[in-house]
């Protein structure tokens, strides 16, 4: 199963508690660890894709963006042990060219050190936008003088595997430019739970609900 999650609600979680938004992001990072570890132990989940930073997130206050970059660097440094212990391969999608050299090196180092892990692939969407991804894929085909077909477009996406189950936390009911192509036939679940309050128990209930759905992929 390819599970994708739009992790939403960190800021609102903090605001409800009278805390700064960055505290919500810190707590959210802890939940990423818990959910990723749960998925690594769940044999039916092979890919976990998390919407960590969108192409639109640059519009946030400069101080918050800088904090998120530092948090990502710190998260990858701390979580390398978790990746190795739980046999988790780390990958990314999106354009990280805007990131600092230090962060880009951290990303590449983490990818290299976990490349042979097989139990679960955790994919972080970083500076990612689905429209941008599809546009880049089509441009690549044109530059290579390849035929523009659905199959060729899919092969050239940052992430070629279709999503089976998409979850969005915080009560918002939209995709926000996340994996639009890959979610064409995904089963979608929207929960009012804010991301820092999301638990493996709730995820387990959603997965059980997912198995009750009949997936016809346009057929009868």
pTM over 0.85, yes/no: yes
For residue 185, name the pLDDT band (cuts at 50, 70, 90).
very high
Radius of gyration of the chain (CA): 17
Active site (annotated) includes residue 57: yes
Annotated active-site residue in 57, 132, 152, 177:
57
Cα distance between residue 206 and residue 210, in whole Å: 6
* 162 labelled catalytic: no
Q: Which alpha helices (H) appear in the chain, and where do they start and end?
A: 10-16, 21-41, 62-85, 101-114, 130-143, 150-155, 200-212
Q: Could you tell me the sign of the dihedral formed by the alpha carbons of 155, 156, 159, 164, in that order?
A: negative
Look at residue 215 and tell me whether its pLDDT is greater than 80. Answer: no
Q: Which of 8, 10, 42, 127 is catalytic?
A: 8
Mean pLDDT of the chain: 95
What domains are defined for the chain?
A: 2-212 (3.40.1180.10)
């Amino acid at each position: 199963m390819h599970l994708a999650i739009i992790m939403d609600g960190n800021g609102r979680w903090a605001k409800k508690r009278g805390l700064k938004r960055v505290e919500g992001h810190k707590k959210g990072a802890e939940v990423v660890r818990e959910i990723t570890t749960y998925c690594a132990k769940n044999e039916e989940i092979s890919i976990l894709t998390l919407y960590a930073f969108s192409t639109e997130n640059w519009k946030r206050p400069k101080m918050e963006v800088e904090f998120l970059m530092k948090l990502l660097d710190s998260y990858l440094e701390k979580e390398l042990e978790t990746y190795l212990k739980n046999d988790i391969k780390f990958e990314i999608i999106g354009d990280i060219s805007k990131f600092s050299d230090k962060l880009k090196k951290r990303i590449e180092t983490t990818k290299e050190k976990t490349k042979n892990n097989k139990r679960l692939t955790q994919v972080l969407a970083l500076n990612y936008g689905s429209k941008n991804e599809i546009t880049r894929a089509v441009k690549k085909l044109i530059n290579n003088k390849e035929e523009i077909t659905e199959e060729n477009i899919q092969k050239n996406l940052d992430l070629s595997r279709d999503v089976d189950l998409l979850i969005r936390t915080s009560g918002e009911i939209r995709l926000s430019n996340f994996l639009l192509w890959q979610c064409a036939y995904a089963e979608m679940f929207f929960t009012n739970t804010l991301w820092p309050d999301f638990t493996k128990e709730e995820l387990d209930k959603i997965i059980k609900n997912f198995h009750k759905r009949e997936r016809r992929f346009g057929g009868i």
